[in-house]
């Protein structure tokens, strides 16, 4: 349960509280069987001061104004981690026939402008693929920057960090990922935390089917290329034989399941699901299977064998071909082998968007630098966000760069990037820091002075403290610490005190779906391995 003073909200007017249950945090909220294997309905009575709006992940709600009492009821069985509450200075606007957005008054116009009409479009696309949306309403609440992850798929009421509002393409992907969880994760849930890929891998696959239907294959392939880049980056950091790269990861006693949340859960899981879809020959045939799978198992929890047995029974011709035992691509190997996915999707349909990135990266990394070609290279203002972050991530991977290259990059792009969203700016600023490029350091200070979000502060402080700029980081922190949530403040203090890259376990909150800014995009734990930057793992829940 996160309690925020008014100063930690956007409006600075009223206190705020929210819960984050994934994966095993709701045992501190109410007595429960805190396992995804157990589902139940719930009801709740909440009393709040006048002027404080209370919301929960429930299908029904009433408010008795004279008593200041809210009543909530979730009529469908859900696992404990999907019970969620938020209360604060929140107002709403309808953005579709079954959707509304909730936000602080100063943020509501932006939320409306970004999402009006869009959520219904995504819900309709999902229904055409996977069957009826069973939860009634699909509302969204935007939370203050202290929200520890990007997004959380609480049924009927998706939680999303407000910081992502300025990054349109990331917002789209994050919301669609949480929409996909309405079928994969919420309706049908992984019975054990050791198989989180059953929710995240399937939701990621469904998310990309939805984006293909609504935005085209090229955009989907671009976003997938960006995520798979991050997966391979994380693999280099962890090592190919690391047991956390398994889909069926072993959960040892006393280990927080959130610590097992990483890009393998999402992207290796996605690659396995994509491989299954390719065995069918036509993704629409696989869509039909997934509809049947949802209908069979909705409101229950499953293990991997349930999914795979259902798949083979739905496609008896594949069962006859023994596809589950195909050499090198055995289902058992997909589940229990460490390392990269056994097969990755064909992303050639995205070449119109990825090829310009590859060409530009080659110009800037070919020695000696062709200054004329660099100066006349792409106008990043005309690129999609995912193109720009893919380009910057690859430059970041290659840092430190030759001084002449970073100087020329700044001349060509720094002013362009200043006006772009935070997902782009933080990557450029990480390049500045990792290359000790002092002329642009003032932009790092300015960025950190205006950020209160974990996903936009931790990566920069990590980089500042692993290089030669620790004193600069200390100076900024002492000036800004009062605007940071105590948990975030403590994390940064530990980074500053150790000068390494720790991401200590301040609490057990999972970091979505789902949904990076990736992010890491979903539910990467705050207690991730120290050597891995949040840039490499941020995914939505």
> For residues 81 and 23, what is the distance between their CA atoms, to the nearest angstrom?
6
To the query of whether residue 438 is one of the catalytic residues in this protein, the response is no
Q: Does 181 count as an annotated binding residue?
A: yes
> For residues 132 and 75, what is the distance between their CA atoms, to the nearest angstrom?
17
Q: Which of 10, 81, 205, 266 is catalytic?
A: 266
* Nearest Cα to Cα of residue 492 among 463, 523, 532, 524: 463
Measured CA distances, 2 to 70, 103, 251 (Å) = 20, 17, 27
User: DSSP secondary structure string, 106-169?
Assistant: TTHHHHHHHHTTHHHHHHHHHHHHH----SS--EEEEEPTT-SSSEE--TTEEEEEGGGGG-HH
Chain centroid offset of residue 267 CA: 12
Given a contact cutoff of 8 angstroms between Cβ atoms, the answer to whether 241 and 160 are in contact is no
Q: Does 485 count as an annotated binding residue?
A: no
CB atoms within 10 A of CB 57: 28
To the query of whether residue 67 is one of the catalytic residues in this protein, the response is no
- The H or E element containing residue 71 is strand 69-79
Q: Does 66 count as an annotated binding residue?
A: no
| Main-chain phi, psi angles of 62, to 5 degrees | -140, 160
> For residues 512 and 522, what is the distance between their CA atoms, to the nearest angstrom?
2
User: DSSP secondary structure string, 259-300?
Assistant: GG-SHIIIIIHHHHHHHHHHHTSSHHHHHHHHHHHHHHHTTE
Q: Which of 104, 153, 178, 423 is catalytic?
A: 178
Given a contact cutoff of 8 angstroms between Cβ atoms, the answer to whether 161 and 150 are in contact is yes
Determine how β-strand 91-96 pairs with β-strand 39-47: unpaired
> For residues 526 and 488, what is the distance between their CA atoms, to the nearest angstrom?
10
Given a contact cutoff of 8 angstroms between Cβ atoms, the answer to whether 532 and 236 are in contact is no
Q: Which residues make up each annotated binding site for Zn(2+)?
A: 177, 181, 200
Active site residues: 178, 266
């Amino acid at each position: 349960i996160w309690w925020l003073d008014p100063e930690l909200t956007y409006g600075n007017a009223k206190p705020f509280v929210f819960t984050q249950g994934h994966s095993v945090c709701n045992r501190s909220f109410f007595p429960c069987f805190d396992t995804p294997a157990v589902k139940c309905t719930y009801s709740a009575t909440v009393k709040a001061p006048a002027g404080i709006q209370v919301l929960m992940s429930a299908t029904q709600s009433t408010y008795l104004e004279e008593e200041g009492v809210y009543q909530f009821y979730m009529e469908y069985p859900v696992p404990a981690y999907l019970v969620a509450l938020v209360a604060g200075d929140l107002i709403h606007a309808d953005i579709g026939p079954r959707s509304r957005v909730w936000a602080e008054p100063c943020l509501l116009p932006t939320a409306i402008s970004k999402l009006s009409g869009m959520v219904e479009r995504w819900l309709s696309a999902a229904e055409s693929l996977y069957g009826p949306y069973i939860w009634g309403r699909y509302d969204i609440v935007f939370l203050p920057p202290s929200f520890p992850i990007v997004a959380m798929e609480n049924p009927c009421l998706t939680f999303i960090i407000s910081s992502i509002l300025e990054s349109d393409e990331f917002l789209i992907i994050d919301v669609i990922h949480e929409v996909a969880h309405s079928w994969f994760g919420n309706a049908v849930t992984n019975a054990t935390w050791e198989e989180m890929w059953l929710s995240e891998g399937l939701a990621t696959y469904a998310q990309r089917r939805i984006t293909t239907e609504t935005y085209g294959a090229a955009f989907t392939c671009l976003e997938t290329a960006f995520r798979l880049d991050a997966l391979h980056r994380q693999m280099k950091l962890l090592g190919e034989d690391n047991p956390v790269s398994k889909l069926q990861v072993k959960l040892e006693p006393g280990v927080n399941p959130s610590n097992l949340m990483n890009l393998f859960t999402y992207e290796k899981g996605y690659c396995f699901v994509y491989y299954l879809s390719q065995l069918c020959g036509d993704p629409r045939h696989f869509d039909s299977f997934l509809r049947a799978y949802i209908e069979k198992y909705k409101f229950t929890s499953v293990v991997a064998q349930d999914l795979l047995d259902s798949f083979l029974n739905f496609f008896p011709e594949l069962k006859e071909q023994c596809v589950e035992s195909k050499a090198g691509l055995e289902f058992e190997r997909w589940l229990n082998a460490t390392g990269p996915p056994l097969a990755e999707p064909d992303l050639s349909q995205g070449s119109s968007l990825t090829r310009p990135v590859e060409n530009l990266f080659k110009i800037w990394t070919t020695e000696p630098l062709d200054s004329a070609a660099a100066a006349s290279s792409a106008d990043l203002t005309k690129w999609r966000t995912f193109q720009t972050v893919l380009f910057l991530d690859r430059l970041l991977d290659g840092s430190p760069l030759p001084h002449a290259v970073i100087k020329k990059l700044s001349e060509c792009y720094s002013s362009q990037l200043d006006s772009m969203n935070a997902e782009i700016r933080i990557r450029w600023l990480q390049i500045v820091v990792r290359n000790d490029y002092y002329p642009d350091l003032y932009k790092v200070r300015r960025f950190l002075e205006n950020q209160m979000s974990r996903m936009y502060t931790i990566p920069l402080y990590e980089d500042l403290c692993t290089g030669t700029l620790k004193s600069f980081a200390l100076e900024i922190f002492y000036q800004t610490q009062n605007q940071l949530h105590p948990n975030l403040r403590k994390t940064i203090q530990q980074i500053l005190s150790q000068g390494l890259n720790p991401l200590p376990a301040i609490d057990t909150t999972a970091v979505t779906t789902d949904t990076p800014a990736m992010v890491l995009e979903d539910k990467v734990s705050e207690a991730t391995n120290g050597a891995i930057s949040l840039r490499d793992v941020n995914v939505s829940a």
